[in-house]
Structure 1
Amino acid sequence: MPASTPTILATSAGYRPHRRLRFGFGPMLAFALELGQECGPRAEGRPRICSIGTASGDDKSFQRDMEEAAREAGYELHHLSLFPAPNVEDIEDYLRGFDVLWVNGGSVVNLLAVWRAHGLPEILHRLWQDGVVLAGISAGSICWFEGGVTDSFGPDLQPVTNGLGFLPGANGVHMDSEDRRRPLLHALVADGTLGTALCTDDGTGLLFRGTELVEAVAETDGVRVTRIERGADGVAVETDLPVRRLR
């Protein structure tokens, strides 16, 4: 069952410590699945997630960890792999069978290049318009915007300006745990390299209906979501947004 409107959940969240597994799924992933089942739960059973790990080269060990976390949470999880070749014949038809497409972190630059080689931007745009929820963390958050900052090229952060552009402006991720991101985003917004940036601390996310930000949400306490925009004097101005705590 699709979401009621085109929906994107862009986050720096989703996973939490687990006493037996590498990680478990937190409230943010549960929220994504709620969004994906707005028109009613699937008649055939468990919520269905497709994990897309292009940004980390479809790492097989991480895919197994995702499957274990999904089993523990009671979700049905499968993968779209593009390395060394697509693991399904009809990508669009395959992806249409899920409630949520969850894009994992890694290199957003490599993700965008590989997706474009396989026609994913056009496929994902159609699915988004048809109500399949698009969501993700880190690179899987930045990709939906026009741009952001990334360590995809090496240890020094650099701008990326060729995002998919489903959402306007830029996206900053891991703002509280990677302290080099904030000053660079301020500089890039101030000089016009990037448009207005919506930024998430670890544990937070941004919910969009169509291209409009509906709310900021968090799965932990004491975290911030901010907007960085260019002021009239050409200086970047940062403001805090209200955040709803997920339970």
Structure 2
Amino acid sequence: MAADQPTIVATSGGFRTGRRTNLEFHKLVHHAVDLSGVHGRRPRLCHVGTASGDQRSWHADLDEAGRLAGWDVSHLNLFPMPPTDDLAGFVREHDVVWVGGGSVANLLAVWAVHDLGGALRAAWRAGVVLGGVSAGSICWFAGGTTDSFGPELRVVTNGLGFLPYGNGVHYDSEALRRPTVHRAVADGVLPETHCTDDGAGLVYRGTELVEAVSERAGGGAYVVRRDPSGCSQEESLDIRRL
């Protein structure tokens, strides 16, 4: 099975501390799996950990989380080398690709070396649900705000561009995120920008934003646009609690 339309779930969440394990998949990742339409077998999730350097200890926690969820979890490691010469085929074998957080600048640079963007675009068009958290959210957009270069936030504008917007993550938990987004939109550095508080996610069908969701009781989602006077304007989105 595959999603009936190209689908992206861009989030500031997806994981939680487990009751008996280090980690569990939270509701946003479960929602991405539901959107893939898989039934009658174990879902297949591909985790991409480039943004944090493909840390094997983190992968072990995700494998355990996958067993708890009843999913088959694999990892697309690019360090020290890709797992196959056929990255497009590898990605297409899965129902969901979930990209972890870390440095979006490093992620985009490494992906460009291996042309992973082309493989991911083909999978997206074929109905593999793409998703991720933080850097794994920003990567699908034209760009966004990041601490990839240091504590002072900067803006990247070389995202994959599957979604023709900017992206802001951790909007409620890091004080500089909101003003940095507003400044980038007002200055025309970022286009219309879609933002999530921690625990929130945005669901896209094709390039259309169709729903904002949250795995928390709180947490919101927002659109920031540049008005004709050159100022930024923020709109809160209706959000559904998962």
Give the distance between the partners of 2:162 and 2:236, measured in 1 at CA.
23
Q: What's the Cα RMSD here?
A: 0.9
Cα contact 1:24–1:69 (8 A) shared by 2:
yes
One-letter identity of the residue aligned with 1:7? T
Give the distance between the partners of 1:78 and 1:126, measured in 2 at CA.
19
Cα contact 1:28–1:218 (8 A) shared by 2:
yes
- 1:94-133 to structure 2, matched below 5 A, reads 94-133=90-129
Match of 2:147 among 142, 147, 151: 151
- Residue 169 of structure 1 and its aligned partner are, at CA, apart by 1.5
Q: Deviations over 1:177-225 (max 9, x none)?
A: 1111100111110010111110000111000000000010111112110
- 1:35-74 to structure 2, matched below 5 A, reads 35-37=35-37, 40-41=38-39, 43=40, 45-74=41-70
- Residue 88 of structure 1 and its aligned partner are, at CA, apart by 2.3
- 1:1-247 to structure 2, matched below 5 A, reads 1-37=1-37, 40-41=38-39, 43=40, 45-246=41-242
What SS does the corresponding residue of 1:146 show, helix, strand or coil? strand
What TM-score, normalized by structure 1, do the two folds share?
0.96
Give the distance between the partners of 2:100 and 2:82, measured in 1 at CA.
17
What SS does the corresponding residue of 2:75 show, helix, strand or coil? strand
- Residue 100 of structure 1 and its aligned partner are, at CA, apart by 0.1
Cα contact 1:10–1:206 (8 A) shared by 2:
yes
Cα contact 1:80–1:88 (8 A) shared by 2:
no
- Residue 111 of structure 1 and its aligned partner are, at CA, apart by 0.6
Cα contact 1:189–1:228 (8 A) shared by 2:
yes
- Residue 17 of structure 1 and its aligned partner are, at CA, apart by 2.1
Give the distance between the partners of 1:192 and 1:94, measured in 2 at CA.
37
Q: Deviations over 1:13-40 (max 9, x none)?
A: 1011222222211111111001112xx5
One-letter identity of the residue aligned with 2:112? R
What SS does the corresponding residue of 2:163 show, helix, strand or coil? coil
Q: Which moved more, 1:201-210 or 1:11-20?
A: 11-20
Structure 1, unmatched stretches of 5+, are none
Q: Deviations over 1:64-101 (max 9, x none)?
A: 11111111111110100000101223211111111000
Give the distance between the partners of 1:18 and 1:124, measured in 2 at CA.
30
Which consecutive segments of 4 or more residues in structure 1 shift more than 4 A?
none
Give the distance between the partners of 1:90 and 1:231, measured in 2 at CA.
45
Give the distance between the partners of 1:88 and 1:166, measured in 2 at CA.
24
Structure 2, unmatched stretches of 5+, are none
Q: Which moved more, 1:221-230 or 1:137-146?
A: 221-230
Q: Deviations over 1:89-129 (max 9, x none)?
A: 32111111110000000000011011110011111111111
